[in-house]
Structure 1
Amino acid sequence: MARVPPATHFSGILLIHCRGRSPDSGPRDCRDPKADRPPRERADHFRRFWVLDSSETQSLQSLWSLLLREPAPAGTVGAEGTRTFQKDVRVTGPGVHRAPAAPARPATPHAVARWCAEQGWPVHPLAAGRKTPAANCPACKDQHHRPASCPCLPAGRPCHGFHSATTDLERIDAWWSANPAWGVGVACGGADLIVIDVDAHPTPVPDRNRLLPGIPIHDSVDLQGLASGFDTLALLAALRRRPNPVEDGNTLRVRTPSGGLHIWYRNPHPVTRFRCSTGSSTKVALAWQVDVRADGGYIVAPTTRTAQGTYVAEGPSRLPAPLPEWLGEELVRTGHMIQRTPVRRPSAGPRSRRQDPAVGWQRVLDPLLTDVVECAATPEGAAFTAKLNKAAYTAGGLAAAGHLDEPTARALLLEAAQAARPWQSARNERIIDDALAAGSARPLHLEGRS
C-alpha cells in the first residue's frame, strides 16, 4: 500500500489523496485498515475463490486470469459462493459452483504477451526480472546501426526493444517459449496508446513554476504537502475543473512496484500522434513527476514481475478508455503533439484577370482554409475558432450562390479543421455546420470580384 500524503490545499481547493479502496464502500479518505494487518491475517481475509466452468464464461475467466491483482491463497468457498479476484471486484452468477480449494496461479508472461497481441497491441520482450528491453544479439551490440536497417527485425529476432514489437502470434510463441522468464513490453505507438505515468519518487520538489509547465502558480497558493506526481496531476485536474485521472475507474490503471501508477488511455484520433516525455524535462513535460508514454516508447504490461515487485492492475477496468479531451488539449499545449508539415495545394500558376468562374471559389476559399490549417503550429492563441467560423461562413455563402456544392465545402472544411485540431472533431463539426448554415442565408456572388 502506497504512502498516503496529507490533504493538500491549493488556493481554496481541498484535495484529499486516496490510495486505499474498500470493496463495499468505495474510495476512502484514509488508508485501507486491512493494510495494517499482518500478512497472514490479510491473506486470510481474501481466502475465497470462484470456479467458472461454463463455455459462456470461459473468455471472462481467461481475461481475469491474466490480470489478477494477486494470486489467491487456497481456502474454502464463502457462504455466498463468491471468489474475490481482487479487493474491489466480485463476480456472481449461475456459472459458479462450489469446489475444492486450489491456489490461483498468475498468468505466465507468454500468456500475457498473447493476450496483449490479441488486443492489437504490439509486444516485445523485457529482460527477465527487469523493466528494460531484452538485450540485443551480439552482432547488434557490436555494430551500432539504425533499427530500420537491422537484419534482425525481418528475421524475427527481438533486437532494438520496442522497434521489434509485433502482434504475430507465431513469433510471440517462439520468443517466449525459448525464454519463458522474459517480461512483456507494449509499444505504445503501434498500439495507439497514451499512458500517463505518475511517479512517486522521493526527490526534492522543484520551484513552483516548474510543477505545471506553462501554468504559473501564484505565491498565495499553499503547496504544503506536495511531494509527487500524484499531487501535480491532481493540481492540474483541479485547475482545469476536470476529474483526476488517477481516480479514473473507466480505464486500465496499473500500480507499479515503486508506488507509481500507469494510467492507460487509447488515442481516439490516431491521425494525431504524441511524443513521449519525462516529468523532469525542462522542454516537454505534462507535469512534474508525470511522464507520458506514446510514440517512440513502451509501457510495461500488467502482471509483469521484476526484482522490485509486480505491475498490478487496479480497479474494475482492464482495457484503456479513450483519452479525455481535456488531457489531449493539455498534451498539445505542452508540446507533445508531433507536428506534421501542412500539405499545400500545388499552385495553378499565373492566372489571368478574367478567371474561370468554375474555379473562382477556390481563390476566395483557399486562403481561409490555409489560415485554418496553419493553426496546427500554434496549439493556443491562434484564433482557430474564429478562422474556422470565417471559412465555413464564406463556404456557406459560396454554396448558396451555386459556386460549389455544400458536401464539397463541408469536406474541405473538415479536412482543414482535422489537420489543425484533430482531437476535437465533434466541436469542429458543430462550428462548421453552424457557420455553413449562417453563410447560406447570404449568398456570396463572385461577379465583379477580381
Structure 2
Amino acid sequence: MNTHVRDRSGNRNRRPSHRVKEEPVPVHSENLPPGVSGGTALDVASWLAGRGYPVHPLAPGAKTPAPNCPDCRSGGHPAQDCPCHALGRWCHGFHAATTDLRTLRAWWETEPGFGIGVACGPAGLVVIDVDAHAEQLPDRQRLLPGIPIDDRVDLTGLQSGFDTLALLAAYRSRPNPCEDTSTLRVRTPSGGMHIWYRAPRGGPSLRCSSGSSPKVALAWQVDVRAVGGYIVAPTTRTAAGVYEPLPGARVPAALPLWLIAELARTGHTVEVPVAPSDAPVAPSRPRGAKTTPKGGQRLLTGLLDEVRACGASPSGTAFSEKLNRAAFTAGGLAAAGHLTGPEARRLLLEAADHARPHQPRRNVLIVEAGLRAGSDRPIHPKERP
C-alpha cells in the first residue's frame, strides 16, 4: 500500500433579582435566515435556542466561557449544584446553558460582546473538531490510535488533522467528513474546521477527547466535542477572527454510522444502561439461505477467537478494535443473509463478555455500533473447496 497524503488548505455577571420564568421557544426555519447570519449575537443565540440547543455566553473576544461570579470563583461547590443557575446567572460555562429566551436576552443585554457557546451533550451534538496547528509529527502509530500504519505508507505532506481524518476515512473506504456538505461545517479562525453532527438517538453516548491524548483520541489533531463539553457557535467573533459557516448545509446531519463505530472503537462511549435491540440489524435473509454457511462461519469464528483471546490480559490487547472488527463483519454477514441479527449479537456478546466480563454495558455499545456500521456493507464470503 503506497498512499500519498497531501496537505489540505482547507466580566461582569449581573444577577437578576428574581427567578427567570420559562418563555416558549419559537420555531425557526431549517436554515440560518439572512437576518441571523448577519445579525447580533443575541439573534444567533436565540436561533440556536429555537432549535433546542442550550447556549451559554463566552467571554468577549475569546472562546472560553464568561467568568463566574465572585462566589463561584472562590469554589466550594460543584458546578451541577450551583445556586446561581436557578437565578439565571451564567456561572460554570456550559453547565449554565439554556434555551430560555428571557435568560438569553438578560445575558446579552448585560454584555452584547459575549460570544456564544453550545453545550454539546444537552444539545444532542457530536462535533468533530479538526485542528491545523503547526506541531511536530508524532510517531506514525499515534496518528490513528489502534490502527497500525505500515511503514510502506507514504506520509509525505501529512501536517494536520485534515490529513489524519482523511487518512482514517480512506482506511475505512468512507467519504472524508471535511468534505461532507450535507452537514454544518464551520471554519475556525485558526484554519481548522468544526463538523457538526447529531448524536445517535438510542445509541451510545459519546464523550469529549483531545487529538493529542495518549489514552482516548479519534485521530491526531482531531478533537471530539460531545457530552461534557461545548462548541463555539458559528458567527462568533473572537480576537483571532470569526467562526464562519462553510457552503453547504446549515444544520447538523446524523452522525455517520462508520464514525459511531470509530468513536466506540477508540473509547469515546460513555457507560450508560443500554438494552440491546431485538430487531435484526438488516432485512431478513433471503428465503432458503443457510444460517451460517461455512465461509461466513469460518470468517466470523476467527474474529471471535481474537476477541476471546483478549481475556488473557486486562489491557494492551486492542480489545475494542477487535470487537468492533468482529461486529462490523457480523453486520455485513447479516446484511447478506448469512446469519440473523439476534444470532450475531449473541455470538459477539458471548465473546466480549468472556474477555471483558466487568464492562457489559461498554461491550453492548461497541457491538451495536459495529453491527450498524457493518450492515451497510454486505459480505459474501467465498467458499473453500
Change (3 A) 1:325 1:62: closer
The structural deviation recorded for 1:268 is 2.8
Using the size of structure 1 for normalisation, the TM-score is 0.60
Give 1:221 deviation, angstroms.
Answer: 1.3
Which residue does the alignment assign to 2:151?
Answer: 219
Q: For residue 2 of structure 2, what is the aligned residue in structure 1?
A: 12
* 1:201 corresponds to which of 127, 133, 143: 133
Aligned to 2:169: 237
- Pairwise mapping of residues 168-187 of structure 1 onto structure 2 (< 5 A)? 168-187=100-119
Matched residue SS, 2:322 = coil
- Give how far 1:60 is off: 8.1
Q: In structure 2, do the counterparts of structure 1 residues 61 and 416 end up closer, same or farther at CA, with 3 Å as the change threshold? A: closer
**Larger relative contact order (Cα-Cα within 8 Å, sequence gap ≥ 6):** 2
Task: Indicate how the Cα distance of structure 1 residues 259 and 154 shifts in structure 2: closer, same or farther if over 3 A, else same.
Answer: same
Structure 2 counterpart of 1:113, from 42, 45, 48: 45
Give the length in aligned residue pairs: 298
SS in 2 for 1:381: helix
Q: Which amino acid aligns with 2:180?
A: D
Q: 1:172 to 1:242 in 2, by over 3 A?
A: same
In the superposition, relative to structure 1, how do residues 62 and 143 fare at CA in structure 2: closer, same or farther (>3 Å)?
Answer: closer
* Contact 2:3–2:153 (CA under 8 A) maintained in structure 1: no
For the residues of structure 2 that align with 1:429 and 1:213, how far apart are their CA atoms? 24
Conserved in 1, the CA contact under 8 Å of 2:208 and 2:225?
yes
Report if aligned partners of 2:5, 2:154 keep a CA contact under 8 Å in 1: no
Question: Aligned pair in 2 of structure 1 residues 62, 428: CA closer, same or farther (>3 Å)?
Answer: closer
Verify the 8 A CA contact 1:269 1:422 in the aligned structure 2.
no
Greater displacement, 218-227 / 193-202: 218-227
- 1:350-375 deviation line (CA, Å, top 9, x unaligned): xxxxxxxxxxxxxxxxxxxxxxxxx9
TM-score computed with the length of structure 2 as normaliser: 0.69
2:207 is aligned, of 250, 270, 275, to 275
Pairing partner for 1:65 from 14, 26, 35: 35
2:269/2:365 contact within 8 Å kept: no
Q: Which residue of structure 2 lines up, in the alignment, with residue 326 of structure 1?
A: 258
Contact kept? 2:125, 2:196, Cα under 8 Å: yes
In 1, distance between residues paired with 2:270 and 2:49? 26
What do the CA deviations read for 1:299-342 (whole angstroms, capped 9, x no partner)? 00000000010000001210011111111111001000112357
Task: From the superposition, tell whether residues 62 and 391 of structure 1 become closer, same or farther in structure 2 (CA, over 3 Å).
Answer: closer
Q: Indicate whether 1:381 and 2:351 are aligned.
A: no
Flag structure 1 segments of 5+ consecutive residues without an equivalent. Answer: 1-10, 21-57, 68-105, 345-374, 396-414, 431-450
Give the superposed CA RMSD.
3.5
Q: Does structure 2 retain, via aligned residues, the 8 Å contact 1:269–1:423?
A: no
What does 1:416-427 correspond to in 2, within 5 Å?
421-423=367-369
Structure 1 residues 156-171: aligned runs within 5 Å: 156-171=88-103
Q: 1:276 touches 1:297 (CA, 8 Å); kept in 2? A: yes
Q: Of residues 264, 267, 276 in structure 2, which corresponds to 1:335? A: 267
In 2, Cα distance between the equivalents of 1:194 and 1:392?
Answer: 29
Change (3 A) 1:393 1:182: closer
Give 1:163 shift.
0.3
Q: Distance in 2 between the 1:227 and 1:381 partners?
A: 29
The more displaced of 264-273 and 235-244 is 264-273
- C-alpha displacement of 1:298: 0.2
Give the direction of change, closer, same or farther, for the CA distance of 1:189–1:422 in structure 2 (3 Å limit): farther
| SS of aligned partner of 1:125 | strand
Q: Secondary structure at the match of 1:196?
A: strand
Counterpart mapping for 1:404-443 below 5 A: 421-423=367-369
Deviation at 1:110, TM superposition (A): 0.5
User: How far 1:381 sits from its partner (Å)?
Assistant: 3.4
Distance 1:117 1:381, change over 3 A: same
Shift of 1:179: 1.3
Percent of aligned pairs with the same amino acid: 53
The 8 Å contact of residues 417 and 428 in structure 1, kept in 2 or not, is answered as no
State the match for 1:102 in structure 2: none
For residues 23-422 of structure 1, the aligned pairs below 5 Å read 63-67=33-37, 106-340=38-272, 379-382=320-323, 384=327, 385=330, 392=342, 421-422=367-368
Aligned partners of 1:65 and 1:13: how far apart in 2? 45
Three-state SS of the structure 2 residue aligned to 1:284 is coil
User: Per-residue CA shift, 1:223-280, capped at 9, x if unaligned?
Assistant: 1111111111111111111111111111100000000000111113254210100000
Q: Evaluate the alpha carbon distance shift between residue 139 and residue 340 of structure 1 in structure 2; reply closer, same or farther with a 3 A threshold.
A: same
Q: If you compute each CA radius of gyration, which structure gives the higher value, 1 or 2?
A: 1
For residues 94-121 of structure 1, the C-alpha deviation after alignment (integer angstroms, 9 at most, x for no partner) is: xxxxxxxxxxxx3211011001001111
Contact 2:120 2:226 (8 Å CA) reproduced: yes
The one-letter code of the counterpart of 2:71 is: A
- What is the Cα deviation at residue 144 of structure 1? 3.1
Secondary structure in structure 1 of the residue aligned to 2:44: helix
Alpha-carbon contact 2:5-2:157 (below 8 Å) kept: no
The letter of the residue matching 2:87 is A
CA 1:118/1:421 → structure 2, altered by over 3 Å: closer, same or farther? Answer: farther
